[in-house]
Structure 1
Amino acid sequence: MKRPLCLIAGGFVLGETAVLLALTSWLFLPALIAAGMIFCGCRRGRTPLWVFLPLIFFYLGAARADAETEKWRERDKILDQISSCYTEAQGRISSIEEDEGEAQLVLKHNRLRIFRFGKWEAVPYEASGLLVSLKKENGPSWEQLGIGQTVTVRGEIQLFSQARNPGEFDFKNYYQSQGLDCRLSAEEIQVTDPSKSPLLEYLRGLKMRSKELLYRDASKEDAGIFAAAVLGDKMGISSQIKDLYQRNGIAHLLAISGLHMSLIGLSFYKLVRKAGAGFWEAGLVSTGLLILYGMLTGASPSVIRAGIMMSAGFYAACLGRTYDLLSAASMALLFQGFYSPYLIMQGGVQLSFGAVFAIGGAAPYLSSWLGKEGLSARSFSACFAVQMIILPVTAFHFYQMPPYGLVLNLLVIPLMGGVLSSGLGVIVFGTLSPVLGTAAAGTGHYILSLYEILLNAAGGLPGNNLILGRPGLVVLAAYAVFLTGSMVIIGLLKKKADKWLIPYWGKLFFLMGIYLLSIVIFLPRPVKGLEAWFLDVGQGDGILLRTEDVCILVDGGSSSKKSLGEYTLAPCLKSLGISVIDYAFVSHGDLDHLSGVKYLLENNEDIRIGNLFLPYHGRDDESIQSLDALAGKRGTSVRYITGGDYMRIGALSITCLYPGKEETPADTNGESQVLKMDYENCHILFTGDMGETEEQRLLGKKEGNYLGEVNVLKIAHHGSKYSSSEPFLDAVSPHWSVISYGQGNSYGHPHKEVLNRLSKRNVTVFQTGESGAVRLVTDGSRIGFSTFVDGNRKAGYNER
């Protein structure tokens, strides 16, 4: 009865995934997968009942996901209506997190009212969960707040932001998977029912006291890692350590995962058994302690998954039955998928279950082929299987991979038990004496120091972090075929073991060859034709162009997104598989055109800028000089360009039309480079923040004769009425235009006057503030547009 549960869970999750990926119009594809599972079951001699159950659960999963999706759609409609309204919410506190003068409360079972037209109105739905941000001065003493209390909070409802550019993190989907509707910035809070949950409050107090002991008896850096690994609190981990672990593929050690739960759960079980308890008593006590520990650490999906699996293992021991890892994992997946279908779309959940299925399915298969019963063979098989299974998940969600992660995990995972034991020892012995607590921290300190040495050494190796980009369906399908074929070949080699005696080291080399080939499958491919992304950078400009294997960036800054480079520009580049920007142009020295470029030069080690082109007339601006200095430190070539400068990159030519050396711009906006890019019959004009005066000057120059062939116009100055004058639009006469601006900006961009001028000339207008990033693709004759948020607006060059 092992595999039927895997088939049932697989069918149920496939059904959920089909709906969540909006594939309901062609459900036959997941149905074919389910049919394949049924066929395999028939071949293995399963009874008809177990063979057809996956198909039944496939449609049950689809129905469950469809119902959940419809529920969120209805909630989204209501939330759109009440967002930015002054709102009152009454709910029960289910969790409290405190950090740097602010508390994050999660309220459940909420009832909402909004203040409109001078009176309070009830909102006709019960919000499942609210994330409440509360500053210390806006409410009662935090010591008075506790889990289980019913409170009334008032403030402004804010919707979770969704991804508006390639590679951006989608907060809306993430929080929906956690059952949270929206955020409320609390201006006032009142305790309606002061009664607290004794158990949950005790666990919260225990967590806070344990954290205090860790920071008292261990160094600050070690304590941050101990708190993450033992208590699930990652707030104390420095950004340098977090980045170091992520870049080398061992960031899973910084979170409570199945590894941690297994070590702690088995320790509980063995201690209770040694105390003289029987199987049932030990299983029940260990399960109870495991549940309490999961609640203490925040009950993340990986913790819940591990808790369910461990409980199944204890129950199997009580019954005297064999524990099957795949069946236990399938049961956990079934439960979690039913509770929240959106969970299965999260990268962390996919990595967690992918690792378990790899260890339970592929690892024993590989270990039996290697023919070694020692720890090294089993460890290598497990690490190799996990890396192969999670590689597409890593590429899809994180866009990069450390190729040395396989070796590093082999070295660091066996030592993680020492780190956990050390952290727990600090808490246990620290309650007795600070001296004992400090002594307990010693083992963990030396292991973490060794980790840091290994990670820094790996970081110095060539190709230590490969940017792969987000793979498409074709690449994922190719990888699935490759992986299946590799397993078939290994199966054939196992059968021919008597004829073909392959030494152990030869088998290892064969597996490493498979590993390297799998990475090659995910390497980014050259772009056919020309692709341009007009990114939604908020109030600013950022345009990314790619042709063949060349990448060009025109501006990259924002005055409304302070961390544009870290959270928008760098993830976008990585998701597209870009590690080198060959040519970067900064039109002028305003922050909303260069802040992201500055971040890449100053703080990002993964993406390099080869050549930086700065405005000639801005060479005395402090911001431009700062970019010049940063570029020099990174080995980036810098050139100041002016009107008449020209370059050719394959079929793409770039010409700077304005301003010339003899021009005298009146202000910083007037210094804007005006660039014309030509790719056969596609002609794009980038105008920076040029104003009407500069437009008139450009029209009076001989270069203005080439404006009439422009068919795509990047509207100047975010749609300001002081740009895009009627004479200029008449001279350019574009088919399409793109306006880059921030939603709800204080400048009123884009101005109605500009939109009216464009409408009068039948120009198709794309607005990043409405549609998110705008994508242009062309083969040199046809031009197509699509938008990131809705993805439906398209226009073809030959159709005009």
Structure 2
Amino acid sequence: MSSLQKQGSRVNDLGPSSVLPAGGRFRGDDICQGYIDSSPVYDEEGKVKLYVRLQGCKDGEFLRPAFGRVQLTTTEGGPHFSFASIIRFKTRLRLPTDFNNPGGFNYTRYCKARGIDHLGYIGDPKWITVIGAVKGHHIRKFIERLREHISESLPVIKDDDIRGVAKALLIGDGSSITENVKDDFRRSGLMHLLVISGLHVAFIAMALFFVFKWIFILVPGFALKINILKPSAAFTILGVWFYAYLTGAEVSVIRAAIIATVYLAGIILDRRQDIFTSLALAALIIIAASPYAIFDVSFQLSFVAVLAIAIIYPRLVERFSCLRPAPNEIFFTKAKRYALETAAVSVAATIGVTPLLSYYFHYSSLIGILANVIAVPWAGFIITPLSLIVSLSGGYFAELWSHMLIPLVKTASIASSFSRPLTLAVTPPWVAVVAFYGFILLVCHPATKLRRFFTSPAFRMTAVFVCFAVILSSFAIQHNWFFKGLKVTFLDVGQGSSIVVNLPTGKVMVIDGGGTVSSSFDIGKMVIAPYLWHEGITHIDRLVLTHAHLDHYKGLAYLAEEFSPEAIIWNGIAPSPSNEDDWSDEDSEVLSDWQGFVERIDRADVPFILPARRSFGGRWSKDENVEFFNTRSAGDNLNNASLVTKITYGDISFLLTGDIEEDAEKFLSKTLIIDYRSQITVLQISHHGSATSTTETLLNAFRPEYAVIQCGRNNRYGFPNKQVLERLRERGVKIFR
């Protein structure tokens, strides 16, 4: 029996709550009710994501009307969830937040574009129960049952890699794709093929239109009575929307379905098919329904890809005679031309989306152009249309169809193996992206009069010069090409710590890598690396691990794999029962996380280095250096053994303290750096502002001007401690957090 019980309109009194008005906030744990408005998403780690349209929330003993859409994350083992299920749940809801670092993913905007107002996590399924179902939605419920049936049929595919790809392409659920496959498709520039998008919808629309047209031609006398293009377009629209909901009705797919509908409606209404007019109308419809859609990455990529094909492909046809049909073509000549046309379309689309991909995802793969030329026709003309047949059969032919996925996965794997030397990990400034698209638009504009001017030698030279001038100057500003000083950046990694140090010599050092308890979220990959790429950093010289706590080391593994550091400097103490005061039942999980981290570091072939009690990490002049202080003898826990880093650059100095506490602070002040009692410019407040750190002894010894506190927003530990803040304010220290 669930802990939540329906009692007429009453709800058991389980704690304080508040009603969520439109745009409002929750306080504390809330009991709410709503219905699941899209397909539940299950992942391989046993977690379930539910998208719930709120109906009401507890106010005293009664449910009051509440509005908004909530993304709930819970674990498997609870009730069975499906589309239109009405659920009642207890959780603490919060607003979506971002990691506030340059180059970071804007998760808040992502949620707004999908209509998600709040997030919630339910660790124990007993706090959620199904109390009914919304009436109606018969077609959608049929599609959801079909999706479930397809998902249940996929275990016949024995290969985990292929099964994950099959699930993604059949029902739009990519949660089962293995990390190795994801990395291969990402490095090869083929990741867009694993996410149902406008590309898949376009190929489905083409296939359906051809099939329906062929069927109507075969009906005796039908083609003589009616223009068969119109019923073909009408049935294609129905098929496209069926496919959109069959694959999960993601926002990007719905947008693509709207674009296809607008274009096909033009055929039905005898309107001249102008791609630019159709795109403009589709964009207006989408933005009117969801204004935040214009900021969504998938929206921008979909429209830019289509525009690039519409603008660039005709110019390629004009330029290369092999793309133009010739009289009396034989079969092989026609087949060759079709293959070249497909390649030209792929090249045009790749040229269009590459700047946006680089801007949002911080890399550009040159191997991706060749890989797309091979993979897109196979995925588009073979895999995608046949996937609809497999889906309509309820997954009956899934095992046979899965063999067609093997060439696609192999192509991604082979391309990925050659990708590293051909991948440019860089984030172009938005000004450079705009300049690039402006140049393409001017040079390839289809208007004849304009093109006569735009294709003149004088204009071409001027346009190329302006384009490159804007691009180079924007890169120089964003990546600090002419800055040769010291730069220390304290990153927002939530409840953890990570610091990027750009030394005057051009070398880069990263101190700690943050980390979260969620094994599915790699903060090094998702937070720290995007900042480094945004800054134009593709190589790290040294990684520094202050101590072996998860919120300090977890993100370093990805940095070791991707940025080829020379070594990891650490204090030499791994987590174990002998050096942890509060060793508990969770020790095995702690040790497993650490062992997994060490294994990833070993595979990356990065050595661990244990510095002496006091050692130099770099010295480029008498008054400019980096020093490490090993405080492992100062206490009997990992916090007090944190490796301390001191950076001196002329009159400016940084003291980066990790998680040291009172014993280590006394040891540091009296023993290690007694000859450095001069004022510290910037002090990293140790242990995220804990009450056991930043003592009077430390503050009196170093008299900092500025203090930086790295702690999570609204963290459960109450960091930073009020006493710590008061001690800093009494000394006039300027606080940043």
TM-score bracket relative to the smaller structure: 0.7 to 0.9
Match for 1:418: what amino acid? I
For each residue in 1:711-759, what CA deviation from the matched residue of structure 2 results, as whole angstroms up to 9, or x when unmatched?
1111122223333222321231111101222344454432222211111
1:690–1:86 distance in 2 versus 1, CA, 3 Å:
same
Separation in 2 of the partners of 1:185 and 1:669? 29
Q: Match of 1:580, SS?
A: coil
Separation in 2 of the partners of 1:613 and 1:650? 19
Q: 383, 407, 411: which one pairs with 1:419?
A: 383
What is the TM-score when the length of structure 2 is the normalising length? 0.78
| Match in the other structure for 2:676 | 706
| Match in the other structure for 2:12 | none
Q: 76, 79, 93: which one pairs with 1:157?
A: 93
1:518–1:242 distance in 2 versus 1, CA, 3 Å:
farther
Q: 51, 58, 61: which one pairs with 1:106?
A: 51
Match for 1:86: what amino acid? D
Residues paired across the two proteins, number: 659
| Match in the other structure for 2:651 | 681
| Match in the other structure for 1:237 | 177
For each residue in 1:572-600, what CA deviation from the matched residue of structure 2 results, as whole angstroms up to 9, or x when unmatched?
33333332211222223333332222443
Match for 1:386: what amino acid? A
| Match in the other structure for 1:639 | 609
Separation in 2 of the partners of 1:624 and 1:291? 47
Q: Match of 1:540, SS?
A: coil
Q: Match of 1:303, SS?
A: helix
Matched, 1:323 2:273: yes
Match for 1:358: what amino acid? A
Separation in 2 of the partners of 1:625 and 1:423? 41
Matched, 1:122 2:81: no
| Match in the other structure for 2:585 | none
| Match in the other structure for 1:653 | 624
Separation in 1 of the partners of 2:416 and 2:675? 55
- Correspondences of 1:691-702 after superposition (within 5 Å): 691-701=661-671
| Match in the other structure for 1:172 | 108
Task: Identify, as 1 or 2, the structure richer in helix.
Answer: 1
- Correspondences of 1:344-355 after superposition (within 5 Å): 344-355=294-305
| Match in the other structure for 2:544 | 585
1:159–1:271 distance in 2 versus 1, CA, 3 Å:
same
Separation in 1 of the partners of 2:449 and 2:204? 40
| Match in the other structure for 1:447 | 407
Separation in 1 of the partners of 2:141 and 2:472? 48
Stretches of structure 2 that go unaligned for 5 or more consecutive residues are 1-19, 217-221, 223-227, 325-336, 458-463, 580-590
Q: Match of 1:391, SS?
A: helix
- Fraction of identical pairs, as percent: 23
1:654–1:597 distance in 2 versus 1, CA, 3 Å:
farther
Match for 1:162: what amino acid? D
Separation in 1 of the partners of 2:194 and 2:371? 15
- Correspondences of 1:30-429 after superposition (within 5 Å): 75-76=22-23, 78-79=24-25, 82-91=26-35, 93-98=37-42, 103-108=48-53, 110-115=54-59, 119-120=61-62, 122=64, 126-133=66-73, 138-139=78-79, 142=80, 147-148=83-84, 150-185=86-121, 187-192=127-132, 195-216=135-156, 219-276=159-216, 278-372=228-322, 373=324, 374-375=337-338, 378-416=341-379, 417-427=381-391
For each residue in 1:45-102, what CA deviation from the matched residue of structure 2 results, as whole angstroms up to 9, or x when unmatched?
xxxxxxxxxxxxxxxxxxxxxxxxxxxx9944x22xx243322224464544455665
1:493–1:643 distance in 2 versus 1, CA, 3 Å:
farther
Counterpart contact for 1:91–1:107, Cα < 8 Å:
yes
For each residue in 1:624-654, what CA deviation from the matched residue of structure 2 results, as whole angstroms up to 9, or x when unmatched?
9997876565343543223442244657933
Match for 2:194: what amino acid? L
Counterpart contact for 2:35–2:134, Cα < 8 Å:
no
Counterpart contact for 2:311–2:444, Cα < 8 Å:
no
1:393–1:735 distance in 2 versus 1, CA, 3 Å:
same
Q: 486, 501, 505: which one pairs with 1:530?
A: 486
| Match in the other structure for 1:740 | 710
For each residue in 1:635-675, what CA deviation from the matched residue of structure 2 results, as whole angstroms up to 9, or x when unmatched?
435432234422446579334363489x6654433332322
Post-superposition shift, 1:438?
4.4
Counterpart contact for 1:214–1:426, Cα < 8 Å:
no
Post-superposition shift, 1:217?
6.0
| Match in the other structure for 1:15 | none
Post-superposition shift, 1:121?
7.1
Q: 565, 569, 588: which one pairs with 1:613?
A: 569
1:176–1:705 distance in 2 versus 1, CA, 3 Å:
same
1:305–1:360 distance in 2 versus 1, CA, 3 Å:
farther
Post-superposition shift, 1:550?
2.3
Post-superposition shift, 1:347?
1.4
Q: 514, 538, 544: which one pairs with 2:500?
A: 544
Counterpart contact for 2:646–2:654, Cα < 8 Å:
yes
Counterpart contact for 2:512–2:553, Cα < 8 Å:
yes
Separation in 1 of the partners of 2:350 and 2:48? 38
1:609–1:761 distance in 2 versus 1, CA, 3 Å:
same
Q: Match of 1:88, SS?
A: strand
1:554–1:584 distance in 2 versus 1, CA, 3 Å:
same
| Match in the other structure for 2:7 | none
Match for 1:465: what amino acid? T
Separation in 2 of the partners of 1:74 and 1:625? 47
Q: Match of 1:348, SS?
A: helix
1:217–1:599 distance in 2 versus 1, CA, 3 Å:
closer
Match for 2:533: what amino acid? K
Counterpart contact for 1:642–1:673, Cα < 8 Å:
no
Separation in 2 of the partners of 1:320 and 1:493? 29
Q: Match of 1:708, SS?
A: coil
Separation in 1 of the partners of 2:572 and 2:249? 56
Counterpart contact for 1:542–1:593, Cα < 8 Å:
yes
1:234–1:688 distance in 2 versus 1, CA, 3 Å:
closer
Post-superposition shift, 1:390?
1.7
1:700–1:300 distance in 2 versus 1, CA, 3 Å:
closer
For each residue in 1:230-272, what CA deviation from the matched residue of structure 2 results, as whole angstroms up to 9, or x when unmatched?
3322233222112211111111111222332222222222222
Stretches of structure 1 that go unaligned for 5 or more consecutive residues are 1-72, 501-510, 768-800
Matched, 1:594 2:550: no
Separation in 1 of the partners of 2:710 and 2:456? 67
1:194–1:258 distance in 2 versus 1, CA, 3 Å:
closer
1:362–1:557 distance in 2 versus 1, CA, 3 Å:
same
Match for 2:692: what amino acid? Y
| Match in the other structure for 2:582 | none
Separation in 1 of the partners of 2:373 and 2:197? 17
| Match in the other structure for 1:778 | none
Counterpart contact for 2:514–2:551, Cα < 8 Å:
yes
Separation in 2 of the partners of 1:630 and 1:271? 50
Post-superposition shift, 1:214?
4.5
| Match in the other structure for 1:775 | none
Post-superposition shift, 1:198?
1.4
Q: Match of 1:581, SS?
A: coil
Separation in 1 of the partners of 2:47 and 2:415? 38
Q: Match of 1:678, SS?
A: strand
Q: 425, 438, 454: which one pairs with 1:467?
A: 425
Match for 1:464: what amino acid? L
For each residue in 1:661-703, what CA deviation from the matched residue of structure 2 results, as whole angstroms up to 9, or x when unmatched?
9x66544333323221122332111122233333333333483
Post-superposition shift, 1:530?
2.9
| Match in the other structure for 1:54 | none
| Match in the other structure for 1:4 | none
Matched, 1:553 2:501: no
